[in-house]
Structures are given as structure tokens and as C-alpha cells.
Structure 1
Amino acid sequence: MTRSCFIFTSKIKAWSVRWFCTSKYAKRIAVVGSGPAGFYCSQTLLSGDQQCLVDVFEKYPVPYGLVRYGVAPDHQDLKSCINGFERTVTSFADRFRFFGNVHIGKELSIAELLCHYDAVVLAYGASEANPLPKLDCSIGNCFSARDFVGWYNGLPECGELKPNLQSDNSTAVVIGHGNVALDIVRVLLSRVENFQHTDMAEHAVEALNKSRLKRVLLVGRRGPAQVSFTTKELRELSRLQGLKTTLRGCDLDPIRKDAHRFDRPKQRLFKLMSEMVDSDKSSVDYANERCLSLRFLLSFDKAIGDSQHNLQAIRFVENQLTTTTSSNVNCESATVQPTDRFEEISASLLIYSCGYRTVNIEPGQFPFDAKLGGVLTDDQGRVIGRRGLYACGWCSQGPNRILAHTQIDAKNVALTVIEDLKKIPAKNDDIEQLLRNRSDKWISWSEWKNLDKIEQSRGKANAKPRQKVVSLEEMLKLNMQECKGEWKDFTFVVVADPQLGLHSTDGSNLSEGKEEMKNAILAINTLKPHPDFVVFCGDFTHAEPYSSAKAAQIRDFEQTVKLLRTDIKPIYVCGNHDIGDKPTAQTLQMYREQFGPDFYAFWIGEVKFFVFNSQYFLPISGMDMYINQQTVWFENEAERTDKEQPTHVIAFQHIPPFIKDPKEEPMFISRCWPMAFNIPCENKRKQFLEWIRRLKVKKLFCGHYHRNTTGQGDDGLEVIITENTAERSGFRLVRVYKDRIEHEFISSNSI
């Protein structure tokens, strides 16, 4: 059956209640990582399996991984894949969830994910830099490419990097001959105007504007024939205004005789490098010009610092190419051998681009070997020895693949997951409550979009696509402020006790009750403005659990609920006819599988809502574990709500604590039947009302009594009881304003 479920937040979410269409037959899949691999995998999962539910977990509050934090700011075209990712979220909003600021391996373990999901896909990329051997970490102004790129792209942990670009020594050395190294060179030597209208972090723009760097040496340990950067990237550098790009002719001479053997891309690159040898730009004043020099066959040996541990020079060992086969030394597989010669280069900044490496986010949970690429899988992406666990992208294939290769790999692994899940039953065990107990600072997709709007708005003021928020603390603070933005009135509807089958002696004739409920639903659809949701306040059907009529009644109930407009969402409250007057673990599990959690919280704007299971306050036995779960949840929510300060707190439960007065006597339905119209036990009623007070609930909507009435409690509590739909087709319309809450019962026939 289709049901509504929520991301249960512990903070105010501005109009961010998220309705999550699920089914007891749907498979749940967790994807760890929201970079390209994670999103490409999610796209295939959602489009390839029309019922699967995908939850994406990301350790940062924001999505997109390397696309956001790795792509150069002046290469906005490479970020166009984000548009496709966002279309995926929009298209599959009812089956996709985003859990940002959740670190798998810390807040949640892999084992816990496997317990709650039918499949878990690791797609967390390669987030660490390969170290530079022999580097003395006490020498200042030496950075990995990963950290420097993160610095100018606004990666939170790199915001305090503070590279010194104003030294009297205006030379920098970048080690590495890949495209990332060229990106860094371009950032260091471009005019700052090239980045003022990009999404480069503001602190980086300011630092580059004050930079005194004039010369960069791009150093690699192998020769020109073995470079990894592309012609396109090098040509872009060579065309920068005011930049002289050169290399020594002696570095190219040894390979000229073999250049005709190169493949066409390598031939084009060799031609471009040849044009840089001794290029004549005599009309330019070299003294004031920025300069890039390409150097080859040099391996880092030592960083030399002054007495203050500031970088002063870098010593390199000179190499020579060699091959262990009959291949020419100018082939790509040629290796280097160090010689006994050294070269020392004076420099004030060192950035080493030695590649990325993946990490084991939770040692012992899956086979991992960094030398072999990371997470160990078979050729279809299944993690070896861990049923239900998969991996794709850089975390399993190694960080040496372009975006197109990542896309193909992620798609293939997703198809493997889809095929494997056809062979197993759905677990249908949501992880939300566990996550709420571990972390109260995770970010939903709608919250990310709030932050996205803030970044874009700030950027627009400066003719930039966005101005990134670079602090984790500010991200969370801004999200809270945004959620407490402009108030918006809204409405919702309470439908009490549909109780299909109430008028049938044997429970088989559902026509009368179904027609009454249908009339109410159709009337609700005509309301203007449309209500945000309809809460069914318990007793959806009349038959007891496990009775022969129950399944048929539930089918009729869910078919009638489907008549609701798609923008009006159903919320379910557990009643005594739904799990039994004397509930058991089995009847409760049946309810949860069909309708979702039996107690939870959600937000709309500045209003917090609670749904309680009132059966736990009756004299029942054998349910202590579940009663305790709600008790612990109550305590946690009371503490959270006190900090959150919502404008209103509204609650729903089936059985009212009292009908008119908190001190009234138990109102048993009959002498021989323990079921009552109110909470009969005085101590349990007092306990419940104390929780209600701590949760700051002022309006409590109930059913069960089959009459329209209200009761007044202490601290301004109003208990509103709504007549059952089975007896009289109608509903209660609730209007929520910033300064008040109004409600009225409306007959379906009056609309």
C-alpha cells in the first residue's frame, strides 16, 4: 500500500515536510556519497526500478562532491551534470531522500545500513591526497593539490589554509603533470578578474588579488611523452593573457624522432609543446609578465626552509627514463631512474599534485586495499564477502578515471543491484528513527535547496553564479535562519474514524462506510486553498487484525485514500481497531508495514507536529519494549522542542486523554469491555499530560469518541475530538495562522 512517511527533523524546516511514497513491496537502497558516482548510480536505480526507494548519505551538508569542490571555478561547463542530478531529484521526489551532514562510519555504521536497507552502494569517492614522500611537514607553505583546490573551491576543512602568496620570492613550484596541476597553475597565474565572476571562494579571490607570484615551475618526474595533462588544458593555459608558457628545447629533442609513432592526441600535444620552445614574444615586457615553465625528469627530494620554517627552496633529483622491455623509452610505460645529480629551485610556495586516494571509511566492515583501488569488488560491483554491499566510482575503481567512465561504472553497478534485488524480499525498515537518535544536525534536500538559494542570491549581487558558504557552522546556522523565514498560513484536515465495515455485522459489506469516506475525500479536494495534508485519526477499518475481513477493508480504505489530490498528502494515526484492543508485536508490525511509524514528528514551516500511539497509555500487556520506545522518544523530543522554539505545536492521537476535563472519571465503553473513551488510568493520563506540557502542545486532535466535542486542560491545552466519518460524512478543517489556530467541522454535503 502507498503511504506517507517523513524525514523526522529536529529543527525547523521552512515548508520542508517531505512526503515519501513507499510500499511494503518497495526495496530500500542506501547510496553513500552524493558526488557523480552516487548520483549516476541513483539515477539508474530510480529509473530502472519503478518501486525502489533511494536514500543518499553525504558527510557534508551539501551535495555533488568533486563537482562542487574539485572542478575549477572557471570551468563552469563541467558542472552542467548538476542540472541532470537535480532533474532526477525532482522527477523522483517521492522515492528519493538526501541525508546531508551524516558521516557514515561515525553517526551510522555500514552494518546498521545493511540492517535497514536491501542494498547499500558505496560511492564516496577518493577524498584524500597521496602524500609527497620525504616532505618535511614542519616547512610552511607546502600544500597538497587536494587541499589547495579545496581552499579555492570552498571545501569547509580547507577554509583556514591561508597560503602565503605575497612573499618576496615570487616563484611557486607545482609538482605533477596532470590536469589538476594545470588547474592550479591557471589559478595562480591568471588575472584575478578571471575569477571574480565565478563561484571561487571569496577568501581565495581576495588572496589571489594580493598575490605577488610571477613565476610557476610545473615539474614532473617523467618526460614530455609521459605527461597526463591534455592538449585542451595546456592550450588554455598558453592562451592566457599576459602569460608566457615555455619549456626547454633540450627536453623535447630526445623524443622528436619518435613523435610520429604517438597516437593522434599525443601528437597534437607534442606539437603544442614544440610551439612553446623558445617562443618569441619580444614585444612583451618579460619583467612584468607572468611565466610558466614546464620541467621534466625531476623528482622531489627535499623542501628547504629558513630559520622560521618558511619554504625557501626545493631540491630535486634528476632522473633518466628507462624501460624493462624492448619498448622505446619515449613510450608511456617508461619508468624513471634517479641519477646522482640534483637541482635546487628557489621558491616560496610548493603544491604537490600526486593524485588522490580513497580511504576506508569504516575499517573491518568490508575488504579494502588502497593499492588495488580501494573497496574490493567483483567485476559487477559486488563487495567481496558482504552480501547486499556494492561499490562504484573512485572508491572501488581508483581515482584515475574521467567523469564518463565513472558514469558508466555507476550505471552498471546500479543495474547489478536491481537484478540482485529481484531475488530477495523487501526489508521495509526505515532508518529515520535511528538517525534521529544519533544526530540532530542532518540536512534534507529541501534544506540544501534553501542554502542553494542563499548562495545564488549572494552571488547574483556580485554577478557570480553563486557565492559559496565555506563554513559548516554557517551552513547550519543559515539553514536554521532560512527556515524561520517569512510566515505562511496553511490548512490541514482531520478525518476521524473512517472505520470501514462498521455497519456490517459480518465485516463483509463495506459499501456504506466506503461511500461516506469517499464523499469526505471528494469534498476535501474542492477546498480552497488546498490543505497541505489530511490526517486520518485512527480506526481506518473496523475488523480486528487477523480477521478474514481485514485485508479487504484495508484495500478499500487505501483505494479511497488514493482519491485525494496528489498535492494533499495523507498522514496516519494508529487506532485501537488498527492494531487491536489488545495489541501484539505482530499486529503492530503489520501496521508499520502498511502505514509506517506509529509515532513520529514532522514540521511545516515554524509549526511542529507530533503523532502519538495512544494504545501505549492503556492497560495492555506484552508491549513494554514498544511502550519504552515511545517513552524514550518523548523524552528526546521534549528536549529538542525546548531548544527549537516552534511557533505552534500540534499533536494527533486516536484516544483522547480526556473528553472534557483532565480530572474526569474513566469512561469505559461497556462494563465488560476494558476499552474506554478516554485514558482510564489516572497515572498514565497524568504522565501523558505532563509530556504534552513539556512538548508545548496547545492543540491535540483526537478521534475514537465518535462525537464532536472539545475539552480544556491546563496550560492552554485544547483537546479537539472529531465525529467519525463512518457515522456522518464530514471532516474537521484546521486553519493555522501565526497568532492562532482555528478549526471547524464541515459536513461533506455542505460543500
Structure 2
Amino acid sequence: MALRWSRMCWLPRCVLSARIRTVPTSRCLGLQRTLTSAPHPLQICIVGSGPAGFYTAQHLLKHHSQTMVDIYEKLPVPFGLVRFGVAPDHPEVKSYGAEDKQKLGIPGEDLPGVYSARDFVGWYNGLPDNRHLSPDLSTETAVILGQGNVALDIARILLSPLDLLKKTDITQAALNALSQSRIKRVLLVGRRGPLQVAFTIKELREMTNLAGIQPINCPSDYQGLGDIIKDLPRPRKRLTELLIKSALKKHGENEVVQRTQSNREWGLRFLRSPLAVLPSEDGKRAAGIRLSITRLEGNGETAVAVSTGEVEDLSCGLIVSSIGYRSIPISPRVPFLQKSGTIPNSMGRVQGVPGLYCSGWVKRGPTGVIATTMTDSFDTAQSLLEDIKSGTLSCSNPRPGASTVRELLLLRGVQPVSFSDWEKIDAVETARGIEVGKPREKILDPEEMLELIFRGHTTRQL
């Protein structure tokens, strides 16, 4: 969908609202809102049905009464990150933007036993592309490279009691694998120190309160921070205080009892940067990771990790790289910065391409939480509305837009998946979930989704 019409503004990697069209594996989605008050309503095309797109569409529909939005999605199901990215035990956060993962760029990262966070999260959340991942959880120690919210999410899923996970919409395949898991220890490795961790206090508090899980942190990592934290911004101060409390609490009688009752543990390892994945003796899978010991130059958020020349080896059979997601170019016609994985833009206006806007991670990079994406998306929508008001974006020459897309799909023999079609999938998933005491049991195979929707139809093509 790299086409652009003068009145149909295309926002890469965003979401839906007035009309949704899904293209699973090259198929399109469709919900329609009819506007009769305007002879030529403002037509907006949004590509991608994750939070960024939803929030962009919401702002446009709220602040421009003559707006029609078409949202296009490659999968047969909408909602992007809300469905496939947010941890299953965080339903209150469910409201993709970046389709690729950052490579470690180190020897051995392609060995079995090494996974990207994007693929691992997609596996337990039911992303069709990752349904065959089948990670080996027979090791006792897992290492997660990264210290952000996604890294903590993965650690929590690996260590959570099954009774808790059974009440979520985690996939049955993941639940079965976790029920056989032998993982007892999860270590989260970061190249910088405790003052630079990227997770939030909510996620940290959940880990520290997880039943049957004992934190194993090094008190020496937190020495000297007491005098520093008083001058930190309040969110960072509270987060660091909780880190220190968790690491330095006295080993009293209650602590001894807790350690005795705990059969799993997790910990943070600071000032470590990955150098190589160490293979097993037969060379067929990962057996450990070699880390460069680093030191910090500078202070606070701008501190840079520099190698000391020393190394450390950690034995582990499962390694998850949680160093960030990455957007990919969507069309040769759209400028793209390979290094940052973003589209060059000014407040969402794509540089050098009038009428083209971007929102979400492809706009600012894979940072922030859903609330950040909401604000960012509102800003992009506002830029578009300001351009209409100033005359920078002309709406005087209406072009076919969505009707042309429909004709193109018809010529190609592609049957779009509509929003009402998605509701059929939703109903089946919800019913299957109720049978096993879960909010939903996701369908993992796009072909099964399409068979459910188009059963009895004579025209169907991927």
C-alpha cells in the first residue's frame, strides 16, 4: 500500500477507526463510518492497526467533523501491540509498529537457544509468525539482554506461577511449554548501571512481589547511590530507592524463611555488554554468553558504557535479546533512516513528501510506553489538521482513494477481511477461552482464521 492520494494521507505503521481493512499476509480489514454532512469528507488512510494508528484516528475523528478514516492491516486481526505485544498478565495495559528486531551483532547469536524479545513475546502472545517458535526451556538459567519493561515482562512470564498465567490469554502452546519449564534463575543484563535502567517502578514492584521468587542482586552495585538519589527526578528517585531496598534488605528471620520457600530467583547484572554467545560442546546450541565488563563515562541518562577489557562468562541455555525493536522501510518512495529505523519527519510530517505523515515508533523510534504513543499520535494528527487549516494540505481535489483500493483487490482476486469478519474470530476465540477459564484462546494460524470467515465462499486468495 505504498500509494498516496492527495486527499488520502497515508500514515505508515499506525491504526484504525472509521473503516478498517485487514490484509493478512497480503490481504486487507474494513469498518465504515458514513458521513453525510459533507460533500467531500476528509479521507485519511492509516497503515497499521496498533495503538499509534488508533490514537491518530481518534484525534482526527474528534477534531474534524468531516473525516473518514480507512485503516489497513496485514493480519486478519486488528490491534497490533495491544494483542501481540503487551504481556498477557497485564490486561489493564492492552489498549506494532516496529516489525523487525535489533541484531546483537555478535558471534553465535544465530545458535538455537537464542531469541529476540520480539519473537519470544510474539510466541507467548500468539503472533502468527511466531507460533512455531517452540523455545527449549529445559535449562536452569536464562539470560535476558536488556533492562527495560519488555525484559521484565519476559522474566515475569518465565517465573510466574502457572495458576496465575492460566487466567490470562497466553497461548495454550506457551502455557504447555512453561508447565514443563526447568528454568529456576533469570538474569537481566545491562551495559550500564542502576541509574540507567529503562523499566518502570510498576514492573519492578511486580517482580519483587512475585510469589515464590527471590531477588538475587549484588549490594555492591548500589553502594554510593544514597547521596545521589536525593537530587534525581521523582520517578527515577522512587525507582532507584526500590532497587536499593530490594538489594540491601537485611537477612532477618523472615528473609531466611522466604529464601527457604523460594524455588526460583531473578537478578540484575549491571555494567555488562554481550561479546559472544558460547556454544555447547557439540556446537549445536547456546550454552552461555561472554560479557564485556564495562565502566561508565558521564552521569545520569547520558552516561556511556566503555569496555574495561575484562570479560565474564555466564552459563545459560536460554538467551533472549531485549535491546529494542526496529522499523523497516515500507516503500522506496518513503524516506527512511536506516541507522535509527525511523522516517525523517517534523512533528509527524514526512520530510520531502507533502501529504504524507507518520506516527508511532517509525516516527520517534521504539521508545516509551502506550501513553507516550498516545501523545505522539495526537501530535501527528494535530499537524495534519493544522496543515489543512493553513492550506498546506489541499482537500479541494478529491480522488478515489478507498474505492481504488477495493478495485485493485478485486482485480487481484483478494477478499478483504472486514471488521464484522474480525468479530467472528473474536467470538470464537472468546468462546474457546471461556471453556478453559481464560478471557480468550487466540487462533494462531491465519489460514484457520480465514477458513472461519470465508467458509462457503467461492473466492478466496492469499
Q: TM-score, normalised by structure 2?
A: 0.86
3-state SS, counterpart of residue 314 of structure 1:
strand
Deviation at 1:51, TM superposition (A): 2.4
2:113 aligned partner, one-letter code:
N
Count of residues in Structure 1 that have an aligned counterpart in Structure 2: 424
Q: 1:409 to 1:284 in 2, by over 3 A?
A: closer
Instruction: Give the deviation of 1:54 after TM superposition.
Output: 1.1
Classify 1:157/1:8 alpha carbon distance in 2 versus 1 (closer, same or farther; 3 Å).
closer
| Closer/same/farther in 2, CA of residues 415 and 350 from structure 1, 3 Å limit | same
Q: State the Cα distance separating 1:416 from its structure 2 match.
A: 2.9
Letter in 1 for 2:92: D
Q: Deviations over 1:486-539 (max 9, x none)?
A: xxxxxxxxxxxxxxxxxxxxxxxxxxxxxxxxxxxxxxxxxxxxxxxxxxxxxx
Matches within 5 A, 1:508-547: none
Candidates 270, 289, 292, aligned match of 1:317: 292
Aligned to 1:427: 398
* Partners of 1:376 and 1:383 within 8 A in 2: yes
Q: Name the structure 2 match of 1:242.
A: 212
- Structure 2 equivalent of residue 74 of structure 1: 89
Offset at 1:128? 1.6
Deviation, 1:228, is 0.9
In structure 1, what is the Cα distance between the partners aligned to 2:192 and 2:259?
32
Give the whole-Å Cα distance in 1 for the aligned partners of 2:113 and 2:373: 33
Q: What is the CA distance between 1:372 and its match in structure 2?
A: 4.5
2:385 counterpart of 1:413: no
Q: Deviations over 1:597-650 (max 9, x none)?
A: xxxxxxxxx8xxxxxxxxxxxxxxxxxxxxxxxxxxxxxxxxx56x79xxxxxx
The amino acid across from 1:28 in the alignment is Q
Checking the alignment, whether the CA contact within 8 Å between 2:31 and 2:419 is kept in structure 1 is no
Note closer, same or farther for the CA distance 1:332–1:60 as it changes in structure 2 (3 Å cut).
Answer: same
* 1:401 pairs with 2:384: no
Amino acid at match of 1:310: R
In structure 2, the residue corresponding to 1:351 is in which secondary structure?
strand
Q: CA deviation at 1:373?
A: 5.3
String of CA shifts for 1:271-310, please: whole Å, max 9, x gaps.
2122222543211455961000211001101111121422
CA distance in 1, matches of 2:117, 2:166: 21
Judging changes above 3 Å, is the alpha-carbon distance between structure 1 residues 298 and 459 closer, same or farther for their aligned structure 2 residues? Answer: same
Alignment partner of 1:191 out of 161, 166, 178: 161
Asked if the contact 1:27/1:421 (under 8 Å) is kept, the reply is: no
Structure 2 CA distance for partners of 1:227 and 1:8, relative to 1, 3 Å: closer
SS at match of 1:61: coil
- Asked whether 1:54 is paired with 2:22, we answer no
Q: 1:25 to 1:201 in 2, by over 3 A?
A: same
**1:443 to 1:424, Cα distance in 2 relative to 1, 3 A:** same
Whether 2:349 is the aligned partner of 1:375: answer no
1:129 counterpart letter in structure 2: K
**SS of residue in 1 equivalent to 2:345:** coil
User: Structure 1 residues 138, 251: CA separation in 2 closer, same or farther (over 3 Å shift)?
Assistant: same
Q: Give the match's secondary structure for 2:223.
A: helix
Alpha-carbon spacing, 1:299–1:7, altered in 2? closer, same or farther (3 Å):
closer
Q: What whole-Å deviation, never above 9, does each CA across 1:133-166 have from its counterpart, x for those lacking one?
A: 2142442110011110111000111111111002
Offset, 1:257? 3.1
Identify the match of residue 265 of structure 1 among 235, 241, 264: 235
Cα distance between partner residues in 2 of 1:289 and 1:409: 42
Residue 475 of structure 1 aligns with which residue? 449
Provide TM-score, normalisation by structure 1: 0.54
**In 2, are the aligned partners of 1:297 and 1:319 still within 8 Å (CA)?**
yes
- Supply the AA of the counterpart residue of 1:440: V
Question: Are the counterparts in 2 of residues 26 and 426 from structure 1 also a CA contact under 8 Å?
Answer: no
Mapped to 1, the partners of 2:380 and 2:222 lie a distance apart of 43
Change (3 A) 1:146 1:439: farther
- Displacement of 1:269 in angstroms is 1.8
Q: What's the secondary structure of 1:415's corresponding residue?
A: helix
| Other-structure match for 1:212 | 182
Matched, 1:302 2:270: no
Q: Which of 13, 16, 30 is equivalent to 2:45?
A: 30
The equivalent residue for 1:542 is none
Please give the residue correspondences for 1:624-643 in structure 2 after superposition, counting only pairs within 5 Å. none
1:136 equivalent to 2:118? Answer no
Q: Which amino acid aligns with 1:44?
A: H
CA RMSD of aligned residues (A): 2.5
Q: Relative to 1, partners in 2 of residues 1:287 and 1:193: Cα closer, same or farther, differing over 3 Å? A: closer
Structure 1 residues 288 and 378: alpha-carbon distance in aligned structure 2, compared to 1, 3 A threshold: closer
String of CA shifts for 1:303-327, please: whole Å, max 9, x gaps. Answer: 111214221111111011112xxxx
Given candidates 328, 332, 352, the residue that maps to 1:359 is 328
CA contact (8 A) 1:26 1:428 kept: no
1:27 is matched by which residue type in structure 2? L
> Structure 1 residues 204, 7: CA separation in 2 closer, same or farther (over 3 Å shift)?
closer
Partner AA of 1:41 in structure 2: T
Instruction: Give the whole-Å Cα distance in 2 for the aligned partners of 1:159 and 1:41.
Output: 30
The structural deviation recorded for 1:24 is 4.6
Matches within 5 A, 1:465-614: 465-481=439-455
The answer to whether the 8 A contact 2:42-2:395 is kept is: no
Q: In 1, Cα distance between the equivalents of 2:412 and 2:338?
A: 30
- 1:28-68: per-residue Cα shift (whole Å, max 9, x none)? 21101111111111112223222222110011111111111
Structure 1 residue 18, shift from structure 2 partner: 6.9
Report the counterpart of residue 302 of structure 2 in structure 1. Answer: 333
Structure 1 stretch 272-281 or stretch 135-144: which is displaced more?
272-281
Q: Is there any run of 5+ residues in structure 1 with no aligned partner, and where?
A: 1-5, 10-15, 82-123, 324-328, 485-605, 607-639, 645-751
Which residue is 1:735 aligned to?
none
Q: CA deviation at 1:336?
A: 1.0
For 1:439 and 1:146, the matched residues in 2 are separated by 32
Secondary structure, in 3 states, of the residue corresponding to 2:302?
coil
Unaligned runs of 5+ in 2: 1-18, 23-29
- 1: CA distance, partners of 2:339 / 2:21: 41
Higher relative contact order (CA 8 A, sep 6+): 2
SS at match of 1:375: coil
Q: CA contact under 8 A between 2:219 and 2:248: conserved in structure 1? A: yes
Q: What letter is aligned with 1:153? A: N
Which residue of structure 1 aligns with residue 27 of structure 2? none
Structure 1 residue 424: deviation in Å?
2.7
**Secondary structure, aligned partner of 2:346:** coil
Q: Secondary structure at the match of 1:433?
A: helix
- The 1:7–1:393 alpha-carbon spacing in structure 2 relative to 1, beyond 3 Å, is closer
Q: C-alpha separation between the residues in 1 aligned to 2:118 and 2:366?
A: 12
TM-fit CA distance, 1:202: 1.1
TM-fit CA distance, 1:191: 0.9
Hey, what's the Cα distance between the residues in 1 that align with 2:33 and 2:58? 19
Q: Distance in 2 between matches of 1:359 and 1:388?
A: 21
Shift of 1:20: 5.0
Given that residues 20 and 72 in structure 2 are in contact (C-alpha distance below 8 angstroms), is that contact kept between their aligned partners in structure 1?
Answer: no
Counterpart Cα distance in 1 of 2:20 and 2:359: 27
Alignment partners' CA distance in 2, 1:476 and 1:301 = 44
Secondary structure at 2:230 match in 1: helix
- What amino acid is the match of 1:147? D
- The change in CA–CA distance for 1:334 and 1:8 in structure 2 (over 3 A counts) is closer
Question: What's the counterpart of residue 147 of structure 1?
Answer: 119
Instruction: Please say if 1:389 is aligned against 2:361.
Output: no
**Match in the other structure for 1:670:** none
Q: Which of 400, 418, 436 is 1:444 aligned to? A: 418
Residues 391-427 of structure 1 deviation map (CA, whole Å, 9 limit, x = unaligned):
1111111111222222122223223323434643142
